[in-house]
Structure 1
Amino acid sequence: MKIVSEAKAHGGRQGVYTTSSQACGCDMTFAVFTPPQAKEQLCPVVWYLSGLTCTHANVMDKGEYRRLAAELGLIIVCPDVSPRGDHVPDEPDNWQFGKGAGFYLDATEAPWASHYRMETHILEELPALIAAHFAADMGRQSVMGHSMGGHGALTFALKNPERFKSCSAFAPIVQPSTADWSRPALAKYLGDDESLWRRHDATLLIADGARFDAFLVDQGTADGFLETGLRPWLLGQACTDAGIALTLRMQEGYDHSYNFVSTFMDDHLAWHAERLV
């Protein structure tokens, strides 16, 4: 792990780091905020997964999480959303696929499978680094995300309920197997057999028996992607059918941007802190 930058913030430390990822076959950048409590004790970890076209920096610069994370004693880890580098295959004219659009899965199709292994990177590689280099209590982890990252948070929690104590999402893609902006990506990363897509779709994971205690989801009513890409009512129906507690809050007039995310960030951090005690 190499330090890119570190700065004091709210009594804690905001850092940016790189690591050589075997899973992704390239250097990967990630951000970590450590609260002041980490100087004296191990602190719980909240993973934040960003959306399409983002990097680790979007939420770090615009998410407004540090003040309350410092108060609550939460470590916030912000990975990148895809592999990077000139040697990494890409579709540079397609913002919904390739670099900036890893969809938090391990690709199985050439040429993507050699680098696009974000599930392994985030669930295996980065936790080992966080445990080794930070005052992290890895027995207390939660996950949250925005848009594509909300999809990642929901699927990671459903597939790893023993690891994550809580899960929340801002405007998640709840059914990527049928959404306009994610279905083509799943086909390229995973191939034409749609049965293999099911473990990367929150609603279908629930239909297939995956369970998690409870979710918190915020969705703006003025979000331009609401009707064709996000469709939170599909998650609502899946959770109702499965008996999963879902707090779905439709936030009047909010769009898809970090103006929306930052407005409700405190609520989500408080949600996680209550479940990480």
Structure 2
Amino acid sequence: METLSIAKSFEGTQGVYRHRSDACQCDMTFALFLPPQAKDGPVPLLWYLSGLTCTHQNVMDKGEYRRIAAELGIAIICPDTSPRGEHVPDEKDNWQFGSGAGFYLDATQQPWSTNYRMATYIAYELAELVAANFPLDMQRQGIFGHSMGGHGAITLALKNPGRFKSVSAFAPIARPSVAGWSRPAFEKYLGPDEAVWRAYDSVALIEDGHRVPELLVDQGKADGFLEDGLRPWLLEEACAKAGIRLTLNMRDGYDHSYFFISTFMADHIAWHADRLR
């Protein structure tokens, strides 16, 4: 593992690191904020998964998470959104597929299946790497994310029961297998059999019996992707039928941007901290 940068922030440290990934067959970069409490021993770990077109950098620059994370003693890890590199296949003219659009799944179709294995990368490889190299309490992990990353956070929590003590999302893609801006990606990554897609669809996973104790979701009412891409009411209906406690905050006037995310970032981190004590 290579350290790319270290900066002091709110008495903690914001680092950026690069390592060779066996899962993705390329070099991967991630950011990790360690609060000042990590000097005294392992701290809880909160995963933040970013959305389409993003890297680890977007939330570092615009997410405004470090002050509250330092106050509450929470480490924040921000992985990249896809494999990258000259040898990694991509569709450079398609922002909804390929580089920056890994959808936190394990692709099964060539040529994507060699590198696009983000579910395995997040759930296993990167988790093992940071557990071995940083003072983190891996018995106290939470996960959240934005848009594509909100989809990833919820599906990973549903498929790994007990692994994440808390899960929340900003404007998640609630049912990507039927949403206009994610169906084409699912078909390319996973093939034409839509039954296979259910393993990476929050609503379908809940319908198929996967459970988490509760969910927190914030969604802007002025989000331009609300009707076609996000559709949180589908998640609300699935949770109601399954008996999953869902807090869905529909926020007047907020869009899909980091202005929205940064406004409610502290609320989400405090919510996770209560559950990671």
TM-score, normalised via structure 1 length:
1.00
In the alignment, which residue of structure 1 is the partner of 2:207?
207
- Residue identity matched to 1:181: W
**How far, CA to CA, are the matches of 2:53 and 2:42 in structure 1?**
33
**Other structure's SS at 1:164 match:** coil
The within-5 A match list for 1:183-198 is 183-198=183-198
| Alpha-carbon displacement from aligned partner over 1:188-217 (angstroms, at most 9, x marks no partner) | 000001110001000000000001000000
- Residue identity matched to 1:137: D
- Residue identity matched to 1:15: G
In the alignment, which residue of structure 2 is the partner of 1:24?
24
**How far, CA to CA, are the matches of 1:271 and 1:17 in structure 2?**
27
- Residue identity matched to 2:235: L
**How far, CA to CA, are the matches of 1:209 and 1:119 in structure 2?**
19
Shift of 1:269: 0.2
The within-5 A match list for 1:74-89 is 74-89=74-89
- Aligned-residue Cα RMSD (Å) equals 0.4
The runs of at least 4 consecutive aligned structure 1 residues that moved more than 2 Å come to none
In the alignment, which residue of structure 1 is the partner of 2:271?
271
Q: Please list every run of 5 or more consecutive structure 1 residues that lacks an aligned counterpart in the other structure.
A: none
In the alignment, which residue of structure 1 is the partner of 2:127?
127
In the alignment, which residue of structure 2 is the partner of 1:40?
40
The within-5 A match list for 1:95-114 is 95-114=95-114
**How far, CA to CA, are the matches of 1:114 and 1:208 in structure 2?**
28
In the alignment, which residue of structure 2 is the partner of 1:162?
162
In the alignment, which residue of structure 1 is the partner of 2:141?
141
The within-5 A match list for 1:2-17 is 2-17=2-17
| Alpha-carbon displacement from aligned partner over 1:214-264 (angstroms, at most 9, x marks no partner) | 000000000000000000000000000000000000000000000000000
Shift of 1:161: 1.9
Are 1:246 and 2:246 an aligned pair? yes
Count of aligned residue pairs for this structure pair: 277
Q: Please list every run of 5 or more consecutive structure 2 residues that lacks an aligned counterpart in the other structure.
A: none
Shift of 1:153: 0.3
Shift of 1:129: 1.2
Are 1:177 and 2:177 an aligned pair? yes
Shift of 1:179: 0.3
**How far, CA to CA, are the matches of 1:92 and 1:246 in structure 2?**
37
Shift of 1:162: 1.0
- Residue identity matched to 1:192: P
**How far, CA to CA, are the matches of 1:110 and 1:131 in structure 2?**
32
TM-score, normalised via structure 2 length:
1.00
In the alignment, which residue of structure 2 is the partner of 1:219?
219
In the alignment, which residue of structure 1 is the partner of 2:72?
72
| Alpha-carbon displacement from aligned partner over 1:114-164 (angstroms, at most 9, x marks no partner) | 100001111111111111111100000000000000000000011112100
Identity of aligned residues (%): 68
**Other structure's SS at 2:234 match:** helix
